[in-house]
């Protein structure tokens, strides 16, 4: 029979459960620096998040484009509207308070509807070259390329026959060998008729009178020019000399002139 003394001496250590003793646990080493860093990261992240939330709610009024403005065209007040954007956008948007100054500038690029205006899109000088003027044309299908025109295109202007026939210029005459498209307004925009495209072109001053006369009669056609090319000048039309209708000596006004044979024979 095994006694209690035998159980204590059987070679296995006693865990001391009977006396209430516990196994010793290694003491943890405290690191105050790591704890402080963790607290700083937590607090810093919370502050950054709060700043972003507050900044996203700060919006400022800037200028947006309400209607298309061609490159080189003076920017009208009707083409500007106010929109609110975030102040953290980082772009050089023009404030709405500067709209009066903007109306005194010119577009350096074509401004499309909905674009936010920046300082790089405007200039204080006009892009219309010295010695040229801007002429407006109202064109119907067949008077311009089927693919349409864009500001900056190089074109030639030709005279065509008009319905009224009052253009005063021979059909096929080159009105302007080289012109530049200044602006294009599609049908339905700015009260333009549904069957017309309004095209503004720059032409030399000396060609403007003939172009405007043909334009007023609707007798202008536009041809798109390849790069570096221009339309040849139309040579003047050769007209046959008019025959005199004044009767010569010996001829009565009411009778045709007699042939040489009739004159020799004396036959009437």
Q: How far apart are CA 79 and CA 138, in angstroms?
A: 22
pTM of the model: 0.45
Average pLDDT of span 25-30: 60
3-class DSSP state for residue 52?
Answer: helix
Lowest mean per-residue pLDDT among 22-26, 141-145, 216-220: 22-26
Chain-centre distance for alpha carbon 129: 20
Min mean pLDDT across 5-19, 25-39, 126-140, 144-158 is at 5-19
Higher-confidence position of 47 and 65 = 65
| Mean pLDDT (whole number) for 249-268 | 49
State the average pLDDT over residues 55-81. Answer: 82
The answer to whether 221 and 164 have CB atoms below 8 angstroms apart is: no
User: CA 75, CA 104: separation in Å to the nearest integer?
Assistant: 7
Rounded CA separation 103/124 (Å): 10
* DSSP conformational letter for 53: H
pLDDT digits (tens, 9 = 90+) for 157-204: 999 987 655 556 788 899 999 998 887 877 765 555 667 888 888 899
User: pLDDT at position 169, please?
Assistant: 75
* Residue with more model confidence, 7 or 126: 126
Residue 81: pLDDT band (50, 70, 90) is very high
What sections of the chain are H helices per DSSP?
4-8, 32-56, 99-102, 208-216, 260-265
């Amino acid at each position: 029979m095994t006694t209690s003394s035998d159980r204590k001496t059987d070679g296995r250590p006693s865990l001391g459960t009977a006396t209430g003793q516990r196994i010793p646990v290694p003491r943890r080493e405290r690191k105050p620096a790591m704890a402080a860093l963790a607290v700083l990261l937590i607090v810093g992240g919370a502050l950054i998040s709060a700043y972003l939330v507050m900044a996203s709610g700060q919006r400022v009024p800037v200028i947006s484009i309400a209607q298309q403005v061609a490159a080189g065209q003076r920017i009208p007040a009707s083409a500007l509207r106010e929109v609110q954007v975030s102040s953290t956008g980082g772009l050089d948007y023009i404030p709405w308070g500067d709209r009066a100054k903007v109306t005194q500038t010119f577009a350096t690029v074509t401004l499309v509807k909905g674009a936010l205006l920046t300082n790089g899109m405007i200039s204080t000088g006009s892009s219309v070259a010295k010695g040229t003027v801007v002429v407006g044309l109202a064109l119907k299908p067949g008077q311009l390329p089927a693919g349409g025109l864009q500001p900056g295109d190089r074109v030639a202007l030709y005279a065509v026959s008009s319905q009224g026939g009052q253009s005063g210029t021979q059909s096929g005459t080159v009105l302007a060998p080289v012109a530049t498209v200044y602006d294009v307004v599609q049908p339905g925009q700015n009260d333009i008729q549904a069957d017309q495209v309004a095209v503004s072109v720059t032409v030399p001053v000396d060609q403007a009178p003939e172009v405007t006369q043909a334009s007023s009669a609707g007798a202008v056609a536009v041809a798109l020019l390849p790069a570096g090319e221009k339309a040849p000048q139309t040579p003047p039309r050769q007209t046959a000399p008019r025959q005199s209708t004044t009767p010569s000596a010996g001829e009565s006004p009411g009778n045709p002139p007699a042939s040489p044979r009739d004159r020799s024979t004396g036959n009437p």
